[in-house]
Structures are given as structure tokens and as C-alpha cells.
Amino acid sequence: MTQTRAGLPTLDPANPFAEDAWNTPYGLPPFERIAPEHYRPAFEAAIAAHEAEIAAITGNGAAPRFDDTVAAMERAGLALDRVAGVFYNLTGSHTNPELQAIEREIGPRLARHGSAIYLNADLWARISAVDAEAEDLDAEERRVLARYRTRFRRAGADLAPEAKARMAEIAARLSELGTRFSQNLLADESGFVLPLTGEEDLAGLPPFLRAAAASAAEERGGGHGHVVTLSRSLIEPFLVFSTRRDLRERAYEAWIRRGQSGGETDNRAIIREIVQLRAERARLLGYESFAHYKLDDTMAATPEAATALLSEVWAPAQKRAGAERDRLQAIVGAEGGNFALEAHDWRHYAEKLRRAEHDLDEGEIKAYLPLDGMIEAAFDTAARLFGLAFEELPAVPRYHPDVRVWRVTDADGSEVGLFLGDYFARASKRSGAWMSAFRSQERLNGAVTPVIVNVMNFAKAPPGETALLSFDDARTLFHEFGHALHGLLSDVTYPLLSGTSVSGDFVELPSQLYEHWLEQPEVLRRHARHHRTGEAMPEDLLRKLLAARSFNQGFATVEYTASAIVDMTLHLSSEGEGGLDVLAFEAEALKRVAMPAEIGMRHRSPHFAHIFSGDGYAAGYYSYLWSEVLDADAFDAFREAGDIFDPETAARLRRYVYGAGNLRDPREAYTLFRGRLPSTGPLLRKRGLAA
């Protein structure tokens, strides 16, 4: 990297990030040419360029106007967005030690850079002085201006200089801690395997699970014929089917103890400091707690509103879970088991109960849910709702051989964007499932079409075999594709408002709503087909599958809600300052709500990446339930129209939800779609918890 005459660093021409535009199909990143050593200089050059762009805005001697201040900020930082977009997508989905080292360095650097912008007094003065009335700004321009003002205030723009300096220190430290949390978790997940060394260890495992365990062993180096890893798509079915109670216990203990090994990957001290720093930041901004700070800019608005929803759902879920436990314990007794049901037993006996009550076999279902068929089902649903078409592109750049790419077009043939699907678990990928963007939609800097990626962790089948999904896996695929559509269908001018850049408790509406179509007989009859014969799922199996939708919902609701309660309780406190023992805090919080001993939290604190890898879902894990109130009510709009693909309802949904980004307050957006705000009734009915 050298210096230009203007004093700004310029990149070596051999660095792919030195190119103004990539000469690749659809402008995709040239993944095969980008090496780890390209990132540090690319980040430094892009940060310097962004700093110069901000300096040009603040140095403008003219009276502040929207275009030379707010729109100028939206036009700034594009080079940094491009570098960060590639880098952070890869650190989540296909990382390595070199990328992790850079991530540890660059996270705090980017946090300090962001703080320098949002705590810049001259920049804040210009944004504050923009007069929407005098300039007769349109609705989108007013929304961008309002969102910038909110962002600046929440970052500390109104604070005294000493407090601003402390806010910047906190932001940098939190970035460092979040990166360490994520990397520790990935190390624990990728470092564990449970070898299954003989037929006895494989007892109870159906063919699809044996094949997945063999594929996992091959991916981990082939030292064992079969292994269980800590990928959710492998460990959960192992807990369902294995008849070896001792192995189920070992696998489950490894699963719940991620992040608390006592060694260098232990996350407990990191959590203590994160909670303390978040509480301090909230106090600096005048909030009672981090939860009050976080929810002040959400649809819920207050922790009390979110907690009230959690409480409303907890009581019926707890009651139903108790009844479920009693039925499972009865099976244990009937089989001669002289033990009390424990958390590592629940899934195993729940599957037995499901077979008894619904004559439903998970293995039989999976045969009709091949991955390709479920991808096609998600695409076909988007075609019938929104007129989209998908064309797979076999010869375009991709960051891993497993990644697939589709060109997405609208009903009139115009290009919507590119969709990337990265479906299989691997050691270089963090756990979970998510949607992200290599490039987000906007029009301010030209007609920018989005490049959206869905990342999953499904078990990969052995070579020549078909990857089969559980119904929960298929639901995850639909969920993340709902997020993808939120990014693909975005129709805004300003980058700040694009796609999923919405309130934290509104962002799950498009994803959770999309799950509903998977459960419709019309969709399953069309796409649930046997992976070998191509025959449609038999009607009696389809009926049994749909009849069992609310089966085990006491368990599912309790394990989720318990995590949301602990998240909210942690962030309502300032316990970090008193030497927080997070496991003791967690246990006490669960004791207060009488958590059933036989059910574990969906995410225990030391591996709760949603809330500790970054601030995204911190004091916000409740948002899945909040959004579920919306999605249950929203799907009723299609039922009331008498057609789950009703064109008029779908058009409103696209205009006010999937395509609208953050153009409006979420309450206004939902009301424009539905005509009113929702109630919790449809949610309780959907989960089978209604009285």
C-alpha cells in the first residue's frame, strides 16, 4: 500500500479490492483471487477514503442541506461496505485462522471508525440543521433524516466530550469481545466429535442419520467411520433416535457446555464484561438499563411490553410442557426404565410418543423432503406470491464448492438480484442459519441489485446420496428464504433503509410468515416427493404430519421462551459490575419462572451467539415471539381472502412488508398491510396453547 498525493493510501493494483468494479458475472466478488493478505490493506484504504468523505461533508462551508449532508453520507463509505461485505460473510461461513486473526484486529478498528463518525460534533451539527420543511423533503428523505438523527443520538452525539470518549472505548471493546465470543464458540463446536465405533454405538440410528454421521466423519478427516458433531442438524436427530442413553448424555452435555470449558475458549468472563459495558453505555445515554436502551427503538418500545408477551406465553407453555413430560415419563416406565426423564432423554421419548399418538416416523417424513425439493418449494412459493423466477447459474464465482447461485427475475423479466444458497455444515462455518448480503439494494448510487446469501448447517449426504431434511430443517430453509426475499425485494432509494434494516422485533416477520406456506397441503402435495421415486407424499402421511404440527409445542415454547427470559433479565440488570457468575444468574432466573428440570434452554448463555456475538439480538431475543404475533395474524389475511396465494393480499404484503425496507415505522407498515394491529390469539392457536 502506498500514499497518493492527497495523502490517502492506495492499494496495490494486484489487490482485487483496488478495482473499481469487478469484471465478473453480475459483479460477484472474485473469490478465487481474494486472499487473506488482501484484507488488511483493503480495510485501511477503505477506512481512509471514508474518513476523507466525511471530512468533505463537515468541511462544506455552505448551509447544510439534505443532499450535501444526509445523502452525501449515504454515498460515502461504499468501498468499505464492499470490503466488509465480503470479509464478514466469509468469517461466518468459511473462515480460517488467518481470517480470524484479521477479524480480531479489524473489529475494534471498525468500531472506533464508526464511533468517530457518530460522535463527530461538526457532522451532528450539520445533520441537526437540515430543515425538512424548508427543503420540502419527500417521505423517504424525511425517514432517512429521522433515522440518522436517531442513530446519532443513540450513539452518544449529544454527550459531553469525556462521555463521548468513553462511548468510543466501549464500542471498540465490545467489538473485540463479540469476536472472541464467536471464535471461542466455533472452536468448541469444530473441536468436538463423538466417535461411533461399532454397531452398538449406531443402535437406533436410521439410514439417513448413519449416512450423515459417515459424511461428517469423512469431512473431519475420515479417522472414524461415523461421528456426531455439534452441528444442530446432526446432534438433534442423534438425540431423537439413538437408543444408547449414555451416548445421548455425552452428546447433549457437549452441546450445552459449549463456551464453558474452563479453558481458553471459555466465554463466561467475556459475558461478564459485555453485560457490564452494555449497562454502562446505557447509563451514559440516560437509560435505566441496556434493555431500556435497546427497546426504545423497537416496535415493543419498552422491556415491560416484551416481558408481558413472554409472560403471557410462558404460563400455558409451562402447563402444556408438564403434561408432555408426564406422558414421556409414562413411556419410560412402560419400557421398564428405572430413571427419571432428563433433558437428554426428552427428544428420544417425544419421538416415541409422536409415533404412538400420530403414527408418524421422522425417517419416513425425511424421505419426502429432499433438499432440492424444498429449495424448489421455496422458489415456487415466491413465484406464486410475487411473480419471481429463479435461474441457477453454474459458472459464476463462489466462495466454496457447495455454494449454489441463482439469478432472480421479476414477473416482467427485470432483474431482481442474485441469491446464494450455502446449505451444508462444515468445520469452517459457525453454527446456526442466517441470511446476509454481499450487496444490498438501493438506487442512490445507481440501480444496485442485491446479492443475498442464505447460510444453513444441514447434514451433508455421502457422495451420490441425496441430502434429506427433517420438517424442522425444511422450516428453517423457508424461514431464512423469507429473510432473503426481504433483501431481494427491497425497493428503496437510500441504503440506510434497505431490506432487513428494520426494527429488531419486526425483522423476523417476513421470515416467520414465510414458514406458513411450507405447512400448507397445497404446497406439500406439490413439492414433498420421495427422493428416489418422485412420488408425492401419501395423503395419510400428509394428514398425520399436519395433524402433528402442534405436537411437543410445550417443550418448544419453553426452551425458546426460557432463553428470551434470561436474555431480558440479564440486560435489565447491571450484574456484570458485581462480578457476574452468568451460570448462577441463569439458574436463578430460571428458578424464578419454575423452569421444568427436564427441558434445557435453547441457548445457554456461554454459547448464546444471538446476544453475545454482537448487539443484534441482545435484549432482543424476545423478537422471534413478538414477530410471531405478527406472522400468525398476517397469514390469517390470506385465509380470510380464501386463497393462500391471493394476488391482492400478496401485492400489499410485497409493498408494505417485503419491499418496503425501513420506509415506515413498523406499526404503520403492518397496519397498511393488515388494516389493523394484531392480537396474540392467532399465535396461541398456532402453537396449540390457546385455552
Give the count of beta carbons closer than 10 Å to the beta carbon of residue 501: 18
Q: Do residues 285 and 293 lie in contact, with contact meaning Cβ atoms separated by under 8 Å?
A: yes
Location of C-alpha cell 473485540: 176
Concatenated DSSP letters of 649-667: HHHHHIIIIIS-TTSS-HH
Q: Name the residue type at position 155.
A: A
Q: Do residues 57 and 117 lie in contact, with contact meaning Cβ atoms separated by under 8 Å?
A: no
Residue 234, CA distances (Å) to 76, 190, 257, 546, 583 in order: 44, 13, 17, 24, 26
| H or E element, residue 143 | helix 139-155
Q: Where would I find the beta strands (DSSP E) of 11-139?
A: none
- What residues are labeled active site? 480
Q: Do residues 485 and 385 lie in contact, with contact meaning Cβ atoms separated by under 8 Å?
A: no
Q: How far apart are CA 405 and CA 390, in angstroms?
A: 10
Q: Using a CB cutoff of 8 Å and minimum separation of 24, what contacts does 409-412 make?
A: 410/386, 411/386, 411/387
Q: Do residues 435 and 191 lie in contact, with contact meaning Cβ atoms separated by under 8 Å?
A: no
Cell of 196: 461411533
Query: Cα angle vertex 10, ends 5, 15, to 5°?
Result: 160
Q: Do residues 124 and 161 lie in contact, with contact meaning Cβ atoms separated by under 8 Å?
A: no
Closest CA to 495 of 124, 184, 140: 140
Q: Do residues 197 and 217 lie in contact, with contact meaning Cβ atoms separated by under 8 Å?
A: no
Give the count of beta carbons closer than 10 Å to the beta carbon of residue 609: 21
C-alpha radius of gyration, the chain, whole number: 25
Q: How far apart are CA 284 and CA 155, in angstroms?
A: 10
Q: How far apart are CA 256 and CA 380, in angstroms?
A: 37
Residue 3 sits at φ, ψ, to 5 deg, of: -105, 140
Closest CA to 510 of 425, 341, 627, 353: 627
Q: What number of CA atoms fall less than 13 Å from residue 456's CA on the CB side?
A: 30
Q: Do residues 659 and 489 lie in contact, with contact meaning Cβ atoms separated by under 8 Å?
A: yes
What is the SS3 assignment for 164-211? HHHHHHHHHHHHHHHHHHHHHHHHHHHHCCEECCCCCCCCCCCHHHHH
Sign, CA dihedral 618-620-624-630, equals: negative
Q: Do residues 299 and 666 lie in contact, with contact meaning Cβ atoms separated by under 8 Å?
A: yes
Cell of 174: 465490545
Q: How far apart are CA 127 and CA 130, in angstroms?
A: 6
Q: What number of CA atoms fall less than 13 Å from residue 562's CA on the CB side?
A: 30
Closest CA to 540 of 518, 524, 516: 524
